[in-house]
Amino acid sequence: LSATPEIPKEDGRPKWDNKFQYILSCIGFAVGLGNVWRFPYLCQIHGGGAFLIPYFIALLFEGIPLLHLELALGQYLRKGSLGAWNTISPYLGGVGVGSWMVSILVSLYYNTVLTWVMWYFINSFQEPLPWSVCPLNENRTGFNEECHESTAVNYFWYRKTLNITPDIAESGKLQWWLILCLAACWAVVYLCTIRGIETTGKAIYVTAIFPYLVLTIFLIQGLTLPGATDGLIYLFTPNLNTLKNPRVWLDAATQIFFSLSLAFGGLIAFASYNPTKNDCEKDAVTVAIVNSMTSLYASIPVFSVLGFKATTAYWDCLDRNIINIINEFDLPEESIMRQNYTSWISFLNSSYPEKIAGLKLKSCDLQEFLDQVPVSGTGLAFIVFTQAIILMPGSQAWAILFFIMLFSLGLSSMFGNIEGVFTPLLELQIIPKSAPKELLSGIICLISFLIALSFTLGSGSYWIDIFDRYAGSVPLLVIAFFEVIGVVYIYKIKRFSKDVEWMTGRKLNLYWQIAWRFISPLLLLIVFVAFVTLQMQKPPSYTAWNPKYEGFPMKEEKVYPPWVQAICVLLAVLPCVCVPLVALFHLVKQKRRSKNPSFVSPEVFSCQEANS
């Protein structure tokens, strides 16, 4: 017992410097790469503006209630995910363990995506940009064959960056340039998370606000590009027929869920550093709405640029045809322009049909270029967007800005992931209290770096796809489901409502009660079942980049070998299985205790748990 009295609230737990830091951290965690490269893609394939309807319904009934639940939980119990779920009920401790495992798995592969972003960033300082020209082949008679058959941008991504193998079973070797960038990325993460929220709280001011600045710059630039309006009209024209397809609703629900970074434990950790008397309801609504607005805001420059790219491709097609015609008929230069192309073509077709047929002109249609296979994820950023950047004046500056923006977006999400790993470990006190926090964060970053080295192999990007599809999807749905059920039916909703009312200072709205009790668990169950059913319908396959494939440059569709499929199942099942396992473990312990009544559980007398 110390000489100075301890006020219960001053428990030495780190806290946010101000409320803005906390809100910014939650927003930064939620707003990530998916807002830029998944949401616009979903809008495009699911009927443009019409997609916003299921999206906002999902936000209202799934996103906001779950977000409020997690923030309130963390804030009231003032513990990370492991401690919080143990406090709710030792039987639910598995939920915390599952969250923690998912955070680890996602941190591993997410930072490798940031490695790729960093690689592109440091390559953007050259003139000309390395992905704009094909390298020459050995005897300098022409361009490199692989590059020539596909495009320079594809070549730079698949060969110069990933050095990808044609099959997931072929691991290839470690790519030293990626190892360097990976080390730098983990060093950046260590730098920012070195003392937990003390340092991330300062870093978040930059990493959370900077992307918005760059998005605005891109918005202004994008809208001035020719063809931007075509792209935007194409994106936002609603096609209400798509709403009949249940796939659209499923995609909306999953997008909201994964976009808000729920069930990672990171949000609980962030909220646990708050003072308990804080309006978590307003925070939840704010964060969710800002996240969705950011998705919408980001899709505008993305689609302006895509529209610009399609228009440029269309003009190139026209120009190529015009040059062919001029050369064939020896007409003076600039006699056929884009505007009078159609009239010239009809005139020439009527007068010299054989010659025109002999030229084998490609038909140029703007709609066709806009309809070109919509891309999401890394394909959008590293192939489509980089190609569009080459066409803009001052491409180096745009490339640098774009990749710094992606890096900040990803980094602020990494803070949340790392916090989801760091806070529970800190509470478990696996390192002695005298040891500095810097040591724990250093150990986490070092071990993660060593494991993530496996993603720098030739087959690394195939593995990252697997992690993204299996570790970062199904377990989260399961954990979130158990979160809601646990709080509502085991901790009891009445008690939780009282806790929230104590924190916010006002009575809980009926909307929250209904959402938590019925709608959210039901929605989660439906989404989970639908998601798993869809995944099981076809054998899990992937597309491989194989220069020796006949259909090259199309990617080759391959099925995962059985051992890889086993790993996929393991990744998806391991975090989920923690929930019943821990419950079983406690059940067995309880049974043993009830057989031996003299053995009293130390939990009843643990004073420090009540006050920490």
* Site residues for other proteins per CB under 8 A: 1, 3-8, 87-90, 118-119, 122-123, 125-126, 133, 135-136, 140-143, 177, 180-181, 183-184, 187-188, 190-191, 194-195, 199, 326-327, 330-334, 436, 438, 490-491, 495, 590, 603-611
606 is in an annotated binding site: no
Nearer Cβ to other proteins, position 195 or 469? 195
| Least distance in angstroms from the C-beta of 176 to other proteins | 11
Q: Which structure tokens are listed for 513?
A: 């009660």
β-strand 541-544 against 556-559: which pairing, if any?
A: antiparallel
Distance CA 325, CA 336 (A): 9
Query: What are the angstrom distances between the C-alpha of 238 and each of 43, 51, 229, 232, 373?
Result: 9, 8, 15, 12, 19
DSSP 8-class letter at 16? -
97-103-105 Cα angle (round to 5): 105
346 is in an annotated binding site: no
305 is in an annotated binding site: no
Nearer Cβ to other proteins, position 88 or 405? 88
Three-class SS of residue 542?
A: strand
| Least distance in angstroms from the C-beta of 602 to other proteins | 12
Nearer Cβ to other proteins, position 11 or 170? 11
| Least distance in angstroms from the C-beta of 224 to other proteins | 22
Nearer Cβ to other proteins, position 194 or 508? 194
| Least distance in angstroms from the C-beta of 75 to other proteins | 15
Distance CA 175, CA 164 (A): 10
| Least distance in angstroms from the C-beta of 593 to other proteins | 9
Query: What are the angstrom distances between the C-alpha of 501 and each of 73, 85, 268?
Result: 12, 20, 18
| Least distance in angstroms from the C-beta of 274 to other proteins | 18
In Å, the largest CA–CA distance within the chain is: 106
413 is in an annotated binding site: yes
User: 542 has which bridge partners?
Assistant: 558
| Least distance in angstroms from the C-beta of 5 to other proteins | 5
Q: Which structure tokens are listed for 93?
A: 């401790």
Nearer Cβ to other proteins, position 88 or 267? 88
28 is in an annotated binding site: yes
Residue from 263, 296, 286 nearest 64 by CA: 286
What is the C-alpha R_g of the chain?
27
Nearer Cβ to other proteins, position 180 or 285? 180
| Least distance in angstroms from the C-beta of 64 to other proteins | 26
Orientation angle between helical segments 93-122 and 474-485, nearest 10 degrees: 140
Residue 357: CB atoms within 10 A of its CB come to: 10
**Helices of type H across 141-236:** 145-149, 152-155, 176-193, 197-224, 228-236
| Least distance in angstroms from the C-beta of 19 to other proteins | 25
| Least distance in angstroms from the C-beta of 423 to other proteins | 18
| Least distance in angstroms from the C-beta of 199 to other proteins | 7
Nearer Cβ to other proteins, position 233 or 443? 443
User: 558 has which bridge partners?
Assistant: 542
Distance CA 41, CA 286 (A): 25
Three-class SS of residue 118?
A: helix
Distance CA 475, CA 146 (A): 39
Nearer Cβ to other proteins, position 332 or 393? 332
Specify whether the backbone of 332 is left (phi greater than 0), alpha (psi in -120 to 50) or beta. Answer: beta
| Least distance in angstroms from the C-beta of 587 to other proteins | 10
Residue from 114, 178, 27 nearest 404 by CA: 114
User: 556 has which bridge partners?
Assistant: 544
167-177 in b/e form (b: 16+ CB < 10 A) is bbeeebebbee
Residue from 585, 368, 455, 510 nearest 114 by CA: 455
Nearer Cβ to other proteins, position 115 or 255? 115
291 is in an annotated binding site: yes
35 is in an annotated binding site: yes
Distance CA 385, CA 139 (A): 32
Residue showing tokens 């930064």? 28
Query: What are the angstrom distances between the C-alpha of 587 and each of 194, 437, 590?
Result: 38, 34, 5
Q: Which residues contact 187 (CB under 8 A, 6 or more apart)?
A: 445
| Dihedral in degrees, nearest 10, Cα atoms 73, 77, 83, 86 | -80
Nearer Cβ to other proteins, position 3 or 373? 3
Q: Which structure tokens are listed for 478?
A: 């399961």
Nearer Cβ to other proteins, position 137 or 535? 137
| Least distance in angstroms from the C-beta of 117 to other proteins | 12
Three-class SS of residue 541?
A: strand
Nearer Cβ to other proteins, position 337 or 430? 337
Nearer Cβ to other proteins, position 153 or 571? 153
Residue 539: CB atoms within 10 A of its CB come to: 8
Residue ranges of the annotated binding site are 28, 30-31, 35, 259, 291, 409, 413
Residue ranges of the annotated binding site for Na(+) are 28, 30-31, 35, 259, 291, 409, 413
